[in-house]
Structure 1
Amino acid sequence: MSRQLALGAAVLIAAFAACHMLGLREHVSVLSGTPPPSGGGDPLLGVAYALAWFGGVIFAPILAIAAGVLAVVDRLRSR
């Protein structure tokens, strides 16, 4: 179970990193009604980056901490 939580955290971090490397950060400005500095802008790309940010910054650390705690508890139970 702890490996699944750690894998979930890694997937969320990887998705956030991929969105960031693709330059989707500037598309988030569309959500506030302002055009991106480079012009154009797809609201779906802004939403995708925002969801990836929440996943990577908020949910991934929670999953990683839960995986660590669960691994420690499992190790203590096995003794």
Structure 2
Amino acid sequence: MSRDFALGAALLVAAFVVCHLLGLREHVSVLSGTPPPAGGGDPLLGVAYALAWFGAVVFAPILAIAAGVLAALDRLRSRRPAPPRPAPPPG
């Protein structure tokens, strides 16, 4: 389960990096009603970049912390000795 959280955090950061490398940052200005410096601008690209940014900045750290906490708890649980089994009844 902790690997799922870590993978989710990595995917959110990767999506943001891809959007940033594609140059979608300049399209975010459309959301405030100002044209991008290069002209044109697609509002959907601006929304995609904003969602990717929020995912990387807000949700990815939460998932990464949850993955770390779950991994630590799993490690602590595995170190505890198993409780002794009760002896079977004589018979």
CA drift of 1:39 comes to 0.2
CA drift of 1:32 comes to 0.2
- How many residues are aligned here? 79
Q: CA RMSD in A?
A: 0.3
TM-score by length of 2: 0.86
Amino acid at match of 2:56: G
CA drift of 1:64 comes to 0.3
| Structure 1 match to 2:17 | 17
Larger Cα Rg: Structure 1 or Structure 2?
Answer: 2
The reply to whether residue 34 of structure 1 matches residue 34 of structure 2 is: yes
Amino acid at match of 1:57: V
Alpha-carbon distance in structure 2 between the residues aligned to 1:22 and 1:57: 18
| Structure 2 match to 1:6 | 6
Structure 2 unaligned regions, length at least 5: 80-91
Identity %: 85
Structure ranking higher on relative contact order (CA contacts 8 Å, 6+ apart): 1
| Structure 2 match to 1:73 | 73
TM-score by length of 1: 0.99
Structure 1 unaligned regions, length at least 5: none
CA drift of 1:33 comes to 0.2
